[in-house]
Each structure stands twice: as C-alpha cells, then as structure tokens.
Amino acid sequence: NAGVTQTPKFRVLKTGQSMTLLCAQDMNHEYMYWYRQDPGMGLRLIHYSVGEGTTAKGEVPDGYNVSRLKKQNFLLGLESAAPSQTSVYFCASSRRSGAVTDTQYFGPGTRLTVL
C-alpha cells in the first residue's frame, strides 16, 4: 500500500513550457486535491475533485488545469509555465464520508522551478 504518490519529485521548466504532474492513490479515495506550498503562505488549494470525471476550482486555480479520468489518478497541468508558479506542489486524497471528517493523506510533493 503506497498511499499517495507524486511524479516527478523535481522539475525545472523554462517560462512558457508545459508539463503535467501526476498524483496516484491506492486507497480507493473519492476526493483528491492539489495544493501549492509557498514560504510564509502555508498551503493553498488549486483544484480538487469529488469523484472520477469531476473537478472544481480551489483558491488559486489560474494557470492550472486538472483532469480525473480514473478514480486513482489526479493530473495537474501547466499549459504555459510562469516564474510565479515556482512552488512545491502537494497532492492529497481523502475518503468521502457523510460528515466530511476524514483525514487527508498527502503525497511527498513535487518541487517545481520555473526559470
């Protein structure tokens, strides 16, 4: 049971390049989330998904797109990377429950640098 995994661990892009970050979970969780972590700002929600085929915007969605074609995978895309997107990206997943009380399990993170 690997939990939540993220690929790649590190990446350096040039401004204007595109890339996709992959998040995979093997816990059969319904909910998945993408956050970015910046110094002094905590984690901010980019996009989230409440089930296969559904996605929604979070707090800071501009410049990012997501897809959830399979329940276990949640992809985060940058179509045209900008230096402001230099950050550490975390994926998380949680089980759906009626009271929305379940723990979010986090991946190890992807460190992205945009030059």
Distance CA 26, CA 99 (A): 22
Q: What angle do CA 101, 107, 109 make, to 5 degrees?
A: 130
Q: Which residues pair with 47 in a beta bridge?
A: 34, 57
Query: For residues 52 and 102, which CB has a smaller minimum distance to another protein in the complex?
Result: 102
Distance CA 29, CA 99 (A): 15
Query: For residues 15 and 57, which CB has a smaller minimum distance to another protein in the complex?
Result: 57
Q: Is 74 exposed, middle or buried (0-12, 13-18, 19+ CB in 10 A)?
A: buried
100 is a site residue for another protein (CB under 8 A): yes
**Do residues 23 and 82 touch, judged by C-beta distance below 8 A?**
no
107 is a site residue for another protein (CB under 8 A): yes
Query: For residues 69 and 99, which CB has a smaller minimum distance to another protein in the complex?
Result: 99
Looking at 11, 19, 44, 73, which residue binds another protein (CB under 8 A)?
Answer: 44
102 is a site residue for another protein (CB under 8 A): yes
Query: For residues 4 and 112, which CB has a smaller minimum distance to another protein in the complex?
Result: 4
- Minimum Å gap between C-beta 15 and another protein is 26
Binding residues vs another protein (CB under 8 A)? 4, 31, 33, 35, 40-45, 48, 50, 56, 58-59, 90, 92, 94, 98-104, 106-109
